[in-house]
Structure 1
Amino acid sequence: MIDPDERTARRALDGVSDAYVAIDERWRIEWVNAATTEFLDRPREELVGAGAGDVLPGDVAAALRETFGDAAATDASGAPTPQSPGGDAEDRPRDVELEFRIDCDSPDGSFDVRAVAADGGVSVFIRDVTDSNRLDRELARNATIVEAVHDAVVTFDADGRVTSANQAAEGLFGADRRALIGTTVDDLASETTLDAESAATFADAAVAVREGAAAERRFSVTCEGADGRQVGDVQLVPLPIDGADGTVGVIRDVTEREEYDRVLTALHDVSRRLFGADDPDEICAIAVEAAANLLNLELSGIWLLDEERNRLDPVAATARTHDEIGGLPHFAENEGLIWDVFRSGDAELYGDLREVPGVYNPDTPVRSELIVPIGDCGVLMAGEPRPDQFDDTDLELAGILAANVEAALDRTDREQLLRRRTEELERQRNRMETVAAVLSRDIERRLSAARDALGAAGVTIDAGGRSADATVDADGQPTDAGNQPTDAENQPADAGRSPASDDGVPGRAAAAEELAIAERLVADVREVAGAAGAETARERVSLADAAADAAERVDDVTVRAIDDPSVRVDRRRFVRFLAALLRFAAGRAESEAAVHVGRLDDRDGFYVADDAPPIPEDERADVFDPEYAAALSLPGLGPAMADEIADANGWELTLAPTEGERRGARFEVTGVTTLSR
């Protein structure tokens, strides 16, 4: 029968939340409370009388046996055997109290155990702390992670006081973390290297987040410490602490990123200076100055390729380079690492030149070296007397500078080439004008001599090159004795010739016509030679009016303007342009040529179309050759001269394909940007 006091005790034990197990001297379960049945998930009647080692978690039972003695070995009936170390009551520990925590292997969990030995038995209290222990481990792991991250992490309680700070926060704020604990957010300016403005921003953001006015705040802060200026990006978010509203700030040091952005912006400014330079020497001088001042490449220089000697020559270097290296070497092909980089086109970093084969000068004081190709132009090279002084950021920024130098050098090369070509074209134009002048003077002398000879023979030549005593038909056209038309500007070279004139002077009419054609040729040559010359005054000219003026200079041609666009052009040259095409039509026509002019429907331009016999297909490609008109015995240079004038105006003159039953030639002029209706 259970003692009343024991019954009262058991009733009280049933009310506690910890598991309670009473173990007798034979290490059997004598009694368990209700919490134990839940803890072990077995009914009380099944537990009472069972061996303690069979019921309790293995690590708990093992710890109890180690302290209070092993459980008795039992026979098949469950009775203790003589081998039991705890068989004698006097040998078993008495009145011993034990407390310990055991982290059992999964799935048992973690337990706080308190055991007391009394009257030959053991009373055991077991508290399952698996969840609590897991939380502790999680907190410890999180603390380790927070400590290990590179970002500064600072927590604040509901009163705005610092409750924790990791090592990164020490470095950023320039203060011992133990000194930071308890500091209010308002005191950060005085206790850390935060400047006053940043500290005020931090305090305002902390209040806003803590009071719920903002879910988070992001801002930048500046610290002015012994190591210089540091910049941090802050993210401030709520952090419940012991049921109160705290905050946590994560501050990422972005000093290097800010410096990188600053240098990158400065390099863009340098690129403008590079593109304003006039020659390679100036470009390279600007580049090494930027390398020293912006990239801290104080021992640097630029070598450019001398294509004639096939070597890399020093063009510019910093003052420190000249002081420490002295005379800069010229690198012949395959000499040193510089040629390896130049040939491969890949930038290289060398941490220690003493460990690199193929160094140009094994005794060089330089240990670290950075070599960046400047395209096909040369290389940028920098060094330091200590090893491992450059990193990938240095390589990247040096590559950006080298790319800008390459672009600037390419620009100067193109400009120099353009200047040389312009100068050559100017010389060629001058030569053409000189040749044209000499040619025209020589022909004019010969023409003058021919006039004098004809004059001595009694033939008078008018201003158009015609014989004054040649007969004139009803339309006012001069004829020879055989009544053939002799218009010098529109007939083939042999047209209108007769073996003798009316007064018996042999060939005087033919001579007159030849003189007229020669004068036309001289005028065309002068026009071609001067077509690409200096700009002339331009004005808005009607296509119809210009075509009418041109028709007055050419015989046996009529012009009809289909519509009347206008173009801004030198009027004199435009009329000569049209006259050349009209004369080409009249020279090919069997009788009077009809010419239409008008605006193109689908492009900016106009056309000149005639009804003279079509140009044979195999001759179309030669129409703009100056020899073409001469080969056909047509007057002047014809389309060749018109093409030169069109080109001088930036137009394109083409011979359109023959379509359908349309006969004649259709010349189209496109690219006339100043054309208007």
Structure 2
Amino acid sequence: MSDTPHLLYVGLVDADTATPDASVAVTPVTTAADALSELADRDYAAVICEQELPGDETGLDVLAAIREQYDALPIVLCTAEPDGEVAARATQLAVTEYVPRSDVDLATRVGDILTGTDTRADSPADPIERKHELRTNNAALRKLAQLATEDGLTETETVERVLEIGCQRLGVSLGFLNRIADGTHEIAVMVGDHPRFEPGATTPVEDTYCDRVIETGEMYEVADATDVAGGPPIAQKTGMSCYIGSELSVNGTTYGTLCFADSDPRPEPFSDSEQAFLELLTEWMNRELERRRREDELERYENIIEAVDDGVYALDSEGYFEFVNQAMTDLTGYSESELLGAYTGFIKNDAVVERAESIVQEMIFGDRDDEESFELEIQQASGNSFPAQDHMTLLYDDDERFAGTAGVIRDITEQKRRDEALSGLLDTTRSLMQAKTPQEVAETVIEATESDLGFDHSLVRLYDEEADTLRPVAASDKVPERPVYDADEGFPGDAFQRDEPLIVDEFKRIDNYDSDVLTAVMYLPMGDHGVVSIGARQGHEFTESDVSVGKILASNAAAAFDRVERERSLLRYESVFENVRDMMYVLDDEGRFQLVTEPLAEWLGYERATLLGQHPRVVLDQDTIDEFACRIGD
């Protein structure tokens, strides 16, 4: 039987690099199942496992699987760089040793495990002391692993727990998480008591040991400040005699430092094991800060998404809902649980789904922009549907592969109503401009409130200047007979006097008559001509679109009333002009005959129709015309 020790290696890294010398036999595998199969067939001295494995498993998964059956087998877990979370979890799973390759020579450590020795420079010579240090490290890492599983702690509470674990492991009384920005050192969180230190205290960073950490980007430690010539002023002022600190970074940007200190000096420098522990603790804290910042950012986005009135969704690459906000459930009438996991065709008909998929394909292949907007019908749980606009964008995973779509669904029912109302107003405007009398204008307005705005309770009151009243002249069929109001009476008078729209939606009596039908009335002044009152029934309350279109209608009506008044005035003048027997004429802006009396036409020897539109030169010589122009100029 061979005395050659056998190592089981789990990973893709060259197995030879993990052995202390050629006398060790190595069997490589890549999965937990293969590792367990090998352990069942042969006795192995130890297992070396990489955290990064080729499949879906991690080294922690392999460690857990082996520990279920082999509780005493030495297992070494490796990462390329120090990773506090991995180290803490591995300790929870009873790893024999965690080895970051960047800091520790793996082959040497494996050799130490096989021989039961410790060749590290700072390793205690006494085996009992070595075991004590190992137990201390493992105990601290177990606490860190336990902390990672606790929910409900605030960021400050979590940091305080980390600092307490660090102080206990490193044998010091003070722990700090410091924020460093713009040359200022601020204590963000602190554990331990010191008369000169407290959270929120600031110091120029150059007056602190942390300055050395930030300058070099490396861990800095001082066992006895009295041995450091020209130490930072803060050490001299406070009597802080030992220090060890490491840089904290969040998403690659310097955040501050994680450091530990004490008023008493240490008899020995911080050991490699203690420094390695602080490196792991710093890495764990980096991850925790990054996680919290990311959660804060996601929470802000979530609050924004939930606050918007539009529906927000995300679909996977197959078109199944992965996310919907509250507005999306409100719009569709389906609950979040009903939508999540459902196919997009759940709220769209086949034609809409086919069209959307076609647009997505064009976006993927570059025939469209990465963002696209299109209109569609959304099917509701009630069986109804509504017009919507979908503003859609593509989603990609970390490998730049298509991962689905995200979009914003906006209900455009009101927009459609407004567009239709505005289109109807074009015809209404033509009718208003063709009206011959104020009564025709008023009746056209009543028709428009129903055909263009969709309201069947409306009334037009015109202003009677002589009586200073607002007199009803036209109304919808459903409006009962209404009284004459003084020009400043009631809601119509209020809107007329202010020349501003007025919407009343809290009243028991409208215009002095009972109504169990109307829930709101909109009063729209038509210039100085009067007021149009429009009533809304239950379930058809006024929208911004209704108010906007109503204002346009009232404005067009005012213009129509102005035109009718002008034409009536012109007709009166024309009637007077026609009955004048004097020789008179009127010229337009271009100096041509606009009006000519019959006596003048007869005297000139022309038909009236012939003269209209002609220049006076047809009947006058140039000298007379020049004299006339001169007199007009004067």
**Given the two structures, how large is their TM-score scaled by the length of structure 1?**
0.48
What is the Cα deviation at residue 238 of structure 1? 2.0
What is the Cα deviation at residue 34 of structure 1? 6.1
CA contact (8 A) 1:233 1:251 kept: yes
CA contact (8 A) 1:368 1:387 kept: no
**Residue 269 and residue 197 in structure 1: after superposition, are their counterparts in 2 closer, same or farther (change >3 A)?**
farther
Whole-Å separation in 1 of the counterparts to 2:340 and 2:580: 86
Between 1:400-409 and 1:164-173, the stretch displaced more is 164-173
Residue of structure 1 aligned with 2:357, choices 199, 203, 223 = 203
Residue 399 (structure 2) pairs with residue 245 (structure 1): no
Q: 2:391 is matched with which residue? A: 235
Whole-Å separation in 2 of the counterparts to 1:416 and 1:313: 20
Whole-Å separation in 2 of the counterparts to 1:179 and 1:15: 44
CA contact (8 A) 2:527 2:555 kept: yes
Whole-Å separation in 1 of the counterparts to 2:77 and 2:379: 65
Q: 1:421 is matched with which residue? A: 573
Match for 1:411: what amino acid?
R
What is the Cα deviation at residue 299 of structure 1? 2.0
Whole-Å separation in 2 of the counterparts to 1:308 and 1:668: 39
**Residue 417 and residue 11 in structure 1: after superposition, are their counterparts in 2 closer, same or farther (change >3 A)?**
closer
Q: 1:60 is matched with which residue? A: 162
Residue of structure 2 aligned with 1:390, choices 526, 539, 542 = 542
Residue of structure 2 aligned with 1:218, choices 373, 395, 404 = 373
**Residue 258 and residue 207 in structure 1: after superposition, are their counterparts in 2 closer, same or farther (change >3 A)?**
same
**Residue 183 and residue 210 in structure 1: after superposition, are their counterparts in 2 closer, same or farther (change >3 A)?**
farther
Deviations 1:526-556 (Å, cap 9, x if unpaired)? Answer: 76774598426689xxxxxxxxxxxxxxxxx
Match for 1:239: what amino acid?
L
Q: 1:654 is matched with which residue? A: 627
Q: 2:308 is matched with which residue? A: 149
SS for the counterpart of 1:353 is: coil
SS for the counterpart of 1:271 is: helix
Match for 2:386: what amino acid?
Q
What is the Cα deviation at residue 212 of structure 1? 4.5
Whole-Å separation in 1 of the counterparts to 2:499 and 2:335: 49
Q: 2:512 is matched with which residue? A: 361
Whole-Å separation in 1 of the counterparts to 2:311 and 2:444: 40
**Residue 63 and residue 292 in structure 1: after superposition, are their counterparts in 2 closer, same or farther (change >3 A)?**
farther
What is the Cα deviation at residue 237 of structure 1? 2.1
Whole-Å separation in 1 of the counterparts to 2:100 and 2:362: 50
Structure 2 unmatched runs, 5+: 1-19, 21-44, 49-73, 89-96, 105-119, 125-129, 145-158, 174-191, 193-222, 224-249, 259-276, 585-597
Deviations 1:127-185 (Å, cap 9, x if unpaired)? Answer: 45323454455445534543443333332333444433333334445545444444555
What is the Cα deviation at residue 37 of structure 1? 8.2
What is the Cα deviation at residue 206 of structure 1? 1.8
**Residue 167 and residue 208 in structure 1: after superposition, are their counterparts in 2 closer, same or farther (change >3 A)?**
farther
Q: 2:453 is matched with which residue? A: 295
Deviations 1:300-347 (Å, cap 9, x if unpaired)? Answer: 10000122222111010111112xxxx211012432232222122122
Match for 2:360: what amino acid?
A
SS for the counterpart of 2:608 is: coil
**Residue 423 and residue 163 in structure 1: after superposition, are their counterparts in 2 closer, same or farther (change >3 A)?**
same
Residue of structure 2 aligned with 1:379, choices 531, 538, 552 = 531
CA contact (8 A) 2:443 2:475 kept: yes
Between 1:274-283 and 1:235-244, the stretch displaced more is 235-244
CA contact (8 A) 2:457 2:479 kept: yes
Q: 1:278 is matched with which residue? A: 436
SS for the counterpart of 1:321 is: coil
Correspondences of 1:172-571 after superposition (within 5 Å): 172-173=331-332, 175-184=334-343, 188=345, 191-192=346-347, 194-216=348-370, 217-225=372-380, 226=382, 228-241=384-397, 243=399, 244-246=401-403, 247-322=405-480, 327-353=481-507, 361=512, 368-384=520-536, 389-429=541-581, 530-531=603-604, 534-535=607-608
**Residue 46 and residue 288 in structure 1: after superposition, are their counterparts in 2 closer, same or farther (change >3 A)?**
farther
Match for 1:375: what amino acid?
G
Whole-Å separation in 1 of the counterparts to 2:575 and 2:604: 17
**Residue 140 and residue 289 in structure 1: after superposition, are their counterparts in 2 closer, same or farther (change >3 A)?**
same
What is the Cα deviation at residue 421 of structure 1? 1.2
Residue of structure 2 aligned with 1:165, choices 294, 311, 324 = 324
Match for 2:378: what amino acid?
C
Correspondences of 1:575-654 after superposition (within 5 Å): 577=620, 607-608=622-623, 654=627
Whole-Å separation in 1 of the counterparts to 2:502 and 2:121: 78
CA contact (8 A) 2:469 2:484 kept: yes
Whole-Å separation in 2 of the counterparts to 1:294 and 1:392: 15
CA contact (8 A) 1:351 1:389 kept: no
**Given the two structures, how large is their TM-score scaled by the length of structure 2?**
0.51
The percent identity for this pair of structures is 23
CA contact (8 A) 1:352 1:387 kept: no
Match for 2:442: what amino acid?
C
Whole-Å separation in 2 of the counterparts to 1:170 and 1:399: 34
Whole-Å separation in 2 of the counterparts to 1:224 and 1:412: 48
Q: 1:514 is matched with which residue? A: none
CA contact (8 A) 2:463 2:487 kept: no
CA contact (8 A) 1:300 1:380 kept: yes
Whole-Å separation in 1 of the counterparts to 2:632 and 2:466: 48
CA contact (8 A) 2:77 2:98 kept: no
Equivalenced residue count is: 394
What is the Cα deviation at residue 426 of structure 1? 0.8
Between 1:401-410 and 1:391-400, the stretch displaced more is 391-400
Whole-Å separation in 1 of the counterparts to 2:457 and 2:599: 62
Match for 2:161: what amino acid?
D
Whole-Å separation in 1 of the counterparts to 2:541 and 2:580: 57
SS for the counterpart of 1:383 is: strand
SS for the counterpart of 1:264 is: helix
Match for 1:164: what amino acid?
F
Whole-Å separation in 2 of the counterparts to 1:656 and 1:164: 81
Whole-Å separation in 1 of the counterparts to 2:358 and 2:427: 37
CA contact (8 A) 2:77 2:99 kept: no
What is the Cα deviation at residue 227 of structure 1? 7.4
Match for 1:309: what amino acid?
A
Match for 1:400: what amino acid?
I
SS for the counterpart of 2:579 is: helix
SS for the counterpart of 2:393 is: strand
Whole-Å separation in 2 of the counterparts to 1:570 and 1:136: 87
Match for 2:580: what amino acid?
Q
Q: 1:464 is matched with which residue? A: none
Whole-Å separation in 2 of the counterparts to 1:44 and 1:168: 63
Whole-Å separation in 2 of the counterparts to 1:46 and 1:375: 96
Match for 2:373: what amino acid?
R
Between 1:51-60 and 1:363-372, the stretch displaced more is 51-60
Deviations 1:339-387 (Å, cap 9, x if unpaired)? Answer: 22212212212232369xxx86386766633211111111111235769
Correspondences of 1:82-101 after superposition (within 5 Å): none
Match for 1:417: what amino acid?
S
Match for 2:566: what amino acid?
R
What is the Cα deviation at residue 428 of structure 1? 0.9
CA contact (8 A) 1:157 1:245 kept: no
Whole-Å separation in 1 of the counterparts to 2:82 and 2:387: 54
